[in-house]
Amino acid sequence: MSDAADRSRVRAAATRVGVFVGAGSAAVLVVGVSVLLVVLNTSARPEREHGGAPHPDSDRFVVDLDHIVWWIVALATAGAVLMAVIGWIAARSAVRPLAAALGAQRRFVADASHELRTPLTAVSARVQLLQRRRDRGEAIDELLPLLRHDVEVMDAVLQELLLLAEGGAAEIPAGGADAVACARTAVGLLEPIASGHDVRMTLTPSDVPGVAIPASTLTRLITVLVDNAVQHAPEGSEVELTLAAVDHVVEVRVRDHGPGVDPVDVERIFDRFARSGERGRRRGFGLGLALAREGAERFGGSVELTSTSDQGSTFTLRLPRAGGPPTGSGGRSVG
């Protein structure tokens, strides 16, 4: 959201608060004065002369001060309490846009930190390999394009996050995103991380149609799922990435051969900041799967844990094919 939009929201909130406080104050004042007038009218009596006869001036009335004072004190106290309540409600309404802005800021920082973490780790691993080869006098030319590509992926992720923060989204290419190309980009990005843990990644593409989602978003979603699998895969094992077209949906299945998801965590692993027993190599913050599901659902897709056991887990990303009918979220709600 832009600065102008933020200022507009603040001005609108201030206007609402001002109107609410003004109307509330006026209502309290009118009610208080009305009650006092009723009390005065019912308790007043005509003024009489010393002999008990009515005073010649019939418009003169007498009010017992002792009786009225208590009403004045009670009305003043009630008015003060009501004004305090009005002020409290107004204050809550006034800070609500600020609270929403702070929440959005925290969410963006957390999301950006998590989404950039994997590409940054890949770049770091690639730089370390480049330094080792240079120190041994080996050729490094083939690593430079890969390193530049990793940086371009980071830039694409950051651009997408900034667009989302402003309420926009990356454009869907004509014909949809190439799922196979996006999967290969994700595998290439994670290759130095996986090889560092002696984990092999296999990609089994098929003749799948374009997917109705921006290419940068699809690459990011696949990267999250594959990275999650690599972190939980035993050394010497494989992470299997398979693409297939099913009716009007393109499925991306990611399978590892790790210990599986604890049954108590199955219903909450897609919640923000939920962690599944910290079984991975790298300490997680419980955001990856939540962000993957949010990103898929934004384009009418879904992410599900389709199977898990002590032999491994399979996560399936389903997205509508380009030009196909809307599919809705397509998945059950988890968490």
Q: Print pLDDT tens along the chain (335 aa).
A: 556 666 777 777 778 778 888 888 888 888 888 888 887 777 766 666 555 555 555 566 666 676 777 888 888 888 888 888 888 887 777 777 777 666 666 666 666 666 777 777 778 877 888 888 888 888 888 778 877 877 777 777 777 777 666 666 666 776 788 999 999 989 988 888 888 889 999 999 878 888 988 888 899 899 989 988 998 899 999 999 999 998 889 999 999 998 888 877 777 788 776 655 555 555 555 677 888 888 889 889 999 999 988 888 999 999 998 876 554 443 333 33
Closest CA to 36 of 61, 72, 76: 72
**Both structure tokens of 46:** 């005509």
C-beta atoms surrounding 234 within 10 Å = 14
Task: Report the pLDDT value the prediction gives residue 301, as an integer from 0 to 100.
Answer: 92
pLDDT at 275: 58
Contacts of 320 (CB under 8 A, 6+ apart): 211, 212, 248, 249, 250, 299, 300, 301, 326, 327
Residue type, 204: T
pTM over 0.85? The answer is no
Q: What pLDDT, on a 0 to 100 scale, did the predictor assign at position 329?
A: 40
